[in-house]
Amino acid sequence: LKGLVHSGDAEAQAIAMAERQFLAEVTHPGIVKIFNFVEHDDKHGNPVGYIVMEYVGGSSLKQATRLNQRAGSRLPVAEAIGFTLEILPALSYLHANGLVYNDLKPENIMVTEDQLKLIDLGAVSTINSFGFLYGTPGYQAPEIVRTGPTIASDIYTVGRTLAALTLHLQTRKGRYVDGLPEDDPVLAEYDSYSRLLRRAIDPDPRRRFPNAEEMASQLMGVLREVVAQDTGVPRPGLSTVFSPSRSTFGVDLLVAHTDVYLDGQVHSQKLTAQEIVKALQVPLVDPTDVGATVLSATVLSESVQTLDSLRAARHGSLDSEGLDLSESIELPLMEVRALLDLGDVAKATRKLEDLADRVGWRWRLLWFRGVSELLTGDYDSATKDFTEVLNTLPGELAPKMALAATAELAGDPDERKFYDTVWSTDRGVISASFGLARALSAAGERDEAVRTLDEVPATSRHFTTARLTSAVTLLSGRSSSEITEQHIRSAARRVEALPDTEPRVLQIRALVLGTAMDWLADNTASTNHILGFPFTEHGLQLGVEASLRNLARVAPTQAHRYALIDLANSVRPMSTF
């Protein structure tokens, strides 16, 4: 039973009567069920109302937090997100029925044996209604006195509840102070979680998550990152707003330098913006856009064909169902994407600006503007736009990959942070593994770089390249005094596990054996075999000679074939008769 605190208050009684009218209609497994509303007269003859509701056993999240507080901590972030994900469908149900909960906080969330439930529906009201605004200071949105209860004000309470469960919020006069404690280590440890909280409690309600469903989607992405970070086990998942990676970038950068063994030509490949853009994920078409159905029939594999189809659709203005395609945002965005794929950055930028004049700079537009800036070498502006996309969609890996690649081109050490987040979460984003390995190598952490490359799954088509790259990483960029026998044998094991028919295996064999031969001139080692040859001066000379002759057989030019044979003859051990 829930009784009124002020039984003689006519206004409070009126509110309770209104509550009875619509709360009895609310039926959701995550919301306490209202059975009835009864009245009786008190000793003064005044009517007193009681709500008869479902009994919910268990304890509140507030009590759970207190248990952690005694231990000097808050709830683990992953656990708090899990609780919130279970509550958001209940809020979404209320919003779909024109209602706002208004007073979400740990005290009003009950944890039972098998689920969570919202209790205390006394503050529930219709959207945009004014009058008595109930809520809790420290959780309540600041604009509610101006706008009335809205979905945005409910989203704010979700963010504040998450913050209260996981952070050490400052208090003043018995209430939580607005904002987040910038020095809280949780915010530094979980960057995406920090970004999600900041969007949920943004002072501008227009910048918050537009609905509970979108917040839940981003929370799930953040949860995957947090669990992967905490456990060391990847937690991949499909995005609902971005496509998978279209291809890879930067995979061959290091091993391509060894192609000099094969053809005699110096190869100095560097990462390019064009390569990155062709590989990056792209925003999925908004299914609510008026042009979404048209796009399903007009997007083709070739960008030129896509442009022709889009122009035909645009000139038609109305589709077969009479929809006004001139109102579509996705049609011009797809045209921008096709133009960028074709390298026409100037025209794509003009179309983006025209579209922004009509609808404003939404995150999809910012994404493509960031891509265009990346292609023109304006890395600072690209970083700014991709960061804004990440702040809007903190649970997505796509903007993190874009930021990592942009930082790498700009020489910014932030590349490592974002590559690390993506790779630890999803082992399917192979570009992140190679990018992280490059960043670690540049920082002198070559053993860590090798471990990262070794994490590429054997099922990946880039597994061989990863093994060869790790072998090169073990031996390159180090002086002879820094290389150890263990480094050489570790590189050899990686190459030995691959068949000679794999591309570049022959040249990496030559690299490993040649490095071992040079190293042995100033060091001693076990004579155990390496790549089929004894680890001795004589054995390694035989190995290098054999590798060079094998390379000569597949050399693309006669001149290089002769050069390899001459080199093989120069290193072969002295023949005795």
- Which token pair is 469? 């790259």
pLDDT: is 79 or 478 the higher one?
A: 79
Lowest mean pLDDT among 266-270, 396-400, 484-488, 534-538: 266-270
The CB density around residue 494, as the number of other CB atoms within 10 Å, is 24
Q: Is the pLDDT of residue 7 over 60?
A: no
Over residues 553-570, the mean pLDDT reads 95
The CB density around residue 557, as the number of other CB atoms within 10 Å, is 11
The pTM of this model reads: 0.91
Name which CATH class applies to 282-396.
mainly alpha
3-state secondary structure of 140: coil
**285 neighbors 364 (Cβ within 8 angstroms):** no
Over residues 22-31, the mean pLDDT reads 85
Where exactly are the structural domains of the chain? 2-53, 59-231, 282-396
Residues 6 or more apart in contact with residue 71 via CB below 8 angstroms = none
For residue range 420-443, list pLDDT tens digits in order.
999 999 999 999 999 999 999 999
Question: How big is the CA angle at 491 (ends 488 and 492), to the nearest 5 degrees?
Answer: 85
Over residues 516-537, the mean pLDDT reads 94
Residues 6 or more apart in contact with residue 451 via CB below 8 angstroms = none
For residue range 96-106, list pLDDT tens digits in order.
999 999 999 99
User: Which H or E run includes 34?
Assistant: strand 34-41
The reply to whether 103 belongs to the active site is yes
Residue 208 CA to residue 200 CA, distance in Å, equals 5
User: Which H or E run includes 41?
Assistant: strand 34-41
Over residues 141-154, the mean pLDDT reads 94
3-state secondary structure of 262: helix
Report the pLDDT value the prediction gives residue 256, as an integer from 0 to 100. 94
Domain 59-231 in CATH 1.10.510.10? The answer is: yes
Distance, CA of 401 to chain centre:
8
- Which token pair is 385? 């736009």
Q: How far is CA 572 from CA 207, 522, 538, in A?
A: 71, 19, 8
pLDDT: is 321 or 524 the higher one?
A: 524
Catalytic residue selected from 42, 103, 308, 385: 103
Over residues 274-299, the mean pLDDT reads 88
Q: How far is CA 19 from CA 2, 28, 132, 282, 408, in A?
A: 12, 16, 12, 46, 57
Report the pLDDT value the prediction gives residue 322, as an integer from 0 to 100. 63
What rounded mean pLDDT belongs to the chain? 90
Q: Averaging pLDDT over each range in 18-27, 138-147, 370-379, 411-420, which range is the top one?
A: 370-379
User: pLDDT band at residue 134, thresholds of 50, 70 and 90?
Assistant: confident
Residue 337 CA to residue 352 CA, distance in Å, equals 10
Q: Is the pLDDT of residue 3 over 90?
A: no
Report the pLDDT value the prediction gives residue 45, as an integer from 0 to 100. 77
Q: How far apart, in Å, do the first and last CA atoms of the chain sit?
A: 107
Q: Is the pLDDT of residue 119 over 70?
A: yes
